Amino acid sequence: MRRRGFSFESRVMDREVTGIGIGLRYDLAVELLERRPETVSWVEIHPENYVDRGGRYQEMLDLARRDWPVITHGLSTCLGAVEPFDAGYLAQLGDFLRELEIPWHSEHLCLGQAGDRFFHDLLPLPFTEEAATIASQRLAEVRDAIGAPLALENVSYYAPQGTNGLAEVDFVVEVLERADAKLLLDVNNIYVNSRNFDFDPKAYIDKIPRERVVQIHVAGHHVRDDGLRIDTHGQPVPDDVYDLLSYTLQKVGAVPVLLERDNNIPPLDELLSEVDTLWSIYRSATEVTRAG
Ligand SMILES: [Fe+2]
């Protein structure tokens, strides 16, 4: 359903989201909005911080929108849940997204709720046909409710899967195809999972249908003393994740890349130096794609 005569597709033409973006997190926002670095091409926000809130958050968002396209990334509408969605929130979210004129919205392919209990972690789904059926139906339900293109994001996980399911990438592709959905491809999550569960991350990327990828996330992660990698978004992006990003961009082309940093936030200049590194990878990798 479209309201106010607005076409989401037209926004992509008007203010294209391209290149390197950064998360408009509260701890960074004042300096980011004052300095408005030209190397930052767009910003990402979590709508839960803004819907029905107003105040300082809304002021920051209004300031950001003067110069940057804004992309939204949800935290609370987990696409694999089986409990009914909060219809009131989805209606508010749809209104908020229309106001922002976003080209797509994203949510996680995970569980975040059991009964009336909400988790603060994004819990993985079983990689089964049954879960893929439910998640694809739920994704379509959310997409209809918000009236916007919807991308799912692949998540990190720490508990081993059973032996009778699909490989993670086959599960993600199954949901994408069944729901005819877009993909927010988090290469750090793939890298973390590949090290924790011993698979080839580049083989994962090779199986992704490139035409569905609308956005990429990169981040740093924590390595525990026992070797387990935890997706914290609290460290600089490691070289192996940069390498996987380069490989991914050569496959999918010039898809916008977000630097996710949500914890242990350093001075802005440190993040901007990571943004510079991302730009150099983005430019050289997408030149390879164009040449191919
Ligand atoms: Fe992510």
Phi-psi region of 191 (alpha: psi -120 to 50; beta: other; left: phi over 0): alpha
Question: Residue 3: is its pLDDT beyond 70?
Answer: no
**Average pLDDT over every residue of 101-121:** 84
Q: Pick the closest to residue 17 from 188, 248, 215 (CA basis).
A: 215
SS3 annotation, 219-286: CCCEECCCCCEECCCCCCCCHHHHHHHHHHHHHHCCCCEEECCCCCCCCHHHHHHHHHHHHHHHHHHH
**Tens-place pLDDT, residues 157-184:** 998 888 889 999 999 999 999 999 999 9
Distance of CA 4 from the midpoint of ligand 1 (Å): 31
Task: Report the DSSP beta bridge partners of residue 153.
Answer: 108, 184
Q: What residue type is assigned to position 77 of the chain? A: T
Q: Which CATH superfamily is domain 8-264 in?
A: Divalent-metal-dependent TIM barrel enzymes (3.20.20.150)
**Tens-place pLDDT, residues 31-80:** 999 999 999 999 999 999 999 888 899 999 999 999 899 999 999 898 98
Distance of CA 108 from the midpoint of ligand 1 (Å): 9
Q: What is the pLDDT of residue 13?
A: 41
Distance of CA 218 from the midpoint of ligand 1 (Å): 7
Distance of CA 40 from the midpoint of ligand 1 (Å): 18
91: number of CA atoms within 13 Å, CB side? 3
Q: How far is CA 251 from CA 23, 88, 278, in A?
A: 24, 39, 16
